[in-house]
Amino acid sequence: MTVHYIEDVEFGSDLPAFIPDTSLAKGAQFAKLIGWDGPRFNDHEGARKEGLPGAMIPGVMSQGFLVAMIHHWAPSARIINIDTVFRAPVMADESHTISGVVTDIDPDAGTVEIDLTVANTKQETRVFGTATIGLKAGAD
Amino acid sequence: MILDLHTHSIKSDDGRAKVENYCQWIRARELPIDGIVLTEHRQFDFESDYSALAKANDLVILKASEVETEYGHVLVYGVTEALTQAFDFASINNVLEDVIQAANDHGAIAVPCHPGRPKVGMFAHTEALGMPQGVQIVEVYNGGSRDDEDQIALDGAAAQGYLGIGGSDSHIVSHVGRCATQFQDDIATMDDLVAALKAGNFEAITLKTR
């Protein structure tokens, strides 16, 4: 289900879960494009030699996933702010799910706040944060 | 009565939840908790008054602190103005035994939280620093735990004879109530909470599967 207007949004409603492509290949491709090429993003063994548990997905790529998730749900939303707290690395080649829920609505300001959580298959939170989005009123 | 004993609001530097939204969420999702304790990082929030919000939502909202020591993070329940003068709440280099002693001297109680967590959990430091004196309770269920952190906490608590509490460690609205503590008695005030903790009339519970 997608929403287009702020009147469509209810407090506590869940955004459709989003499963991002966290493959090593995608992460490495993204890292190279933004100039972060290196073993921590493109080589599990090389990342382990750097003291990491394996190759990671770049943090800005995770933020991009959050934006993509929001736009899958609300294609016309204006993302005003995304604020993330990285609790643990999002590991490449491990499956993750992004969930989002509406936790505040300000009809006067035309804004909606969303809690966002990136969790692995063990339901461990790797990244959490909040987003503030702008949505038009239906009468506009 | 079930309380989430470990939550953070926007008063904490990494907290993103407004207290009114916690209340709204608990009621909208019909969470099986009766209230929350706000444990803001490295401070005690003297200025906020949540009594009207608590009454409007029929929830208990209490205030405590999460301070930092050489053994990791510690929840302090029963904070008073005098206790905040006894050690530096803002410091990241407090001495755990000093915090425990100061809490006891001021009618409060100190509880190491997420003790199974690397770096910021007590059991990560006991091999190097020894077992601290004076600990009676640790947080055995933490909503933000990963891997085997809760199991390390449970095993360590059992080995040392510590009692265990639970708290979500929520920093965003939707994470509240993931873990909590069930009390035999009603808790309406911080004095009630400290008394119940000191009496041992409680049990840690996890609600993560909901």
- Mean pLDDT for A130-139 is 92
Count CA atoms within 13 Å of residue B23 on its CB side: 16
- Mean pLDDT for B29-38 is 97
Residue B209 has pLDDT above 70, yes or no: no
Show the domains of chain A with their CATH numbers. Answer: 6-134 (3.10.129.10)
What's the rounded Cα separation, in Å, for the pair B18 and B197? 27
Q: Is the Cβ of B171 closer than 8 Å to some Cβ of chain A?
A: yes
Task: Determine what percent of chain A is predicted with pLDDT higher than 90.
Answer: 94
Least confident of B44-53, B143-152, B194-203: B143-152
Render pLDDT for B159-180 as a digit per residue (tens, 0 to 9).
Answer: 999 999 999 999 999 999 999 9
Residue A89 has pLDDT above 50, yes or no: yes
Q: Is the CB of residue B115 less than 8 Å from the CB of residue B156?
A: yes
Residue A14 Cα, gap to closest chain B Cα (Å): 10
Cα-based angle B51, B188, B69 (whole degrees, multiple of 5): 90
pLDDT of residue B210: 43
Q: Is the CB of residue A123 less than 8 Å from the CB of residue B150?
A: no
pLDDT of residue B129: 98
Q: Which residue has the tokens 């548990």?
A: A53
Confidence of residue B125 (pLDDT cuts 50, 70, 90): very high
Selected for mutation to probe chain B from A104, A105, A112, A117 (highest B CB count within 10 Å) is A104
- Comparing C-alpha atoms, which of B175, B174, B125, B173 is closest to residue B145? B175
Render pLDDT for A14-69 as a digit per residue (tens, 0 to 9).
Answer: 999 999 999 999 999 999 999 998 999 999 999 999 999 999 999 999 999 999 99
Q: Is the CB of residue A119 less than 8 Å from the CB of residue A97?
A: yes
Across chain B, mean pLDDT equals 97
DSSP string, A41-58: HH-HHHHHHTTSSS-B--
CB contact under 8 A, A117 and B17: no
pLDDT of residue B102: 98
- Comparing C-alpha atoms, which of A92, A36, A37 is closest to residue A62? A92
Cα-based angle A17, A28, A89 (whole degrees, multiple of 5): 55
DSSP state of A17: P
What's the rounded Cα separation, in Å, for the pair A44 and B196? 49
Are β-strands B2-7 and B35-41 bridged in parallel, bridged antiparallel, or unpaired?
Answer: parallel
Residue A140 has pLDDT above 60, yes or no: no
Residue B51 has pLDDT above 80, yes or no: yes
Q: Which of A83, A115, A123 sits opposite B174 (nearest CB)?
A: A115
Q: Is the CB of residue A127 less than 8 Å from the CB of residue A119?
A: no
What is the interface pTM, i.e. ipTM, of the complex? 0.87
Q: Which of A12, A101, A130 sits opposite B16 (nearest CB)?
A: A130
CA B194 to chain centre: 12
Selected for mutation to probe chain A from B13, B172, B176 (highest A CB count within 10 Å) is B172
Higher pLDDT, B146 or B107: B107
Burial class of B55 by CB neighbour count within 10 A (0 to 12, 13 to 18, 19+): exposed
| Crossing angle of the two packed helices A59-73 and A24-33, in degrees rounded to 10 | 100
- Comparing C-alpha atoms, which of B44, B129, B61 is closest to residue B95? B129
Confidence of residue B119 (pLDDT cuts 50, 70, 90): very high
Query: Which chain B residues touch A104 with a CB distance below 8 Å?
Result: 18, 21, 173
Tokens representing A37 are 């090429």
Query: Which chain B residues touch A130 with a CB distance below 8 Å?
Result: 16, 172
pLDDT of residue A138: 86
> What is the number of domains present in chain B?
1
What is the domain-level CATH number for residue B43? Answer: 3.20.20.140
Confidence of residue B146 (pLDDT cuts 50, 70, 90): confident
Structural domain boundaries, residue B141 = 2-206
Q: Is the Cβ of B173 closer than 8 Å to some Cβ of chain A?
A: yes
Which helix (H) or strand (E) is A138 found in, with range?
A: none
Taking every pair of Cα atoms in chain B, the longest distance, rounded to a whole number of angstroms, is 48
* Neighbouring C-beta atoms of residue B77, cutoff 10 Å: 24
CB contact under 8 A, A12 and B25: yes
Q: Please report which residue ranges of B74-145 form alpha helices under DSSP H.
A: 81-86, 96-105, 126-129
Burial class of B33 by CB neighbour count within 10 A (0 to 12, 13 to 18, 19+): buried
pLDDT of residue A32: 96
Residue A102 Cα, gap to closest chain B Cα (Å): 9
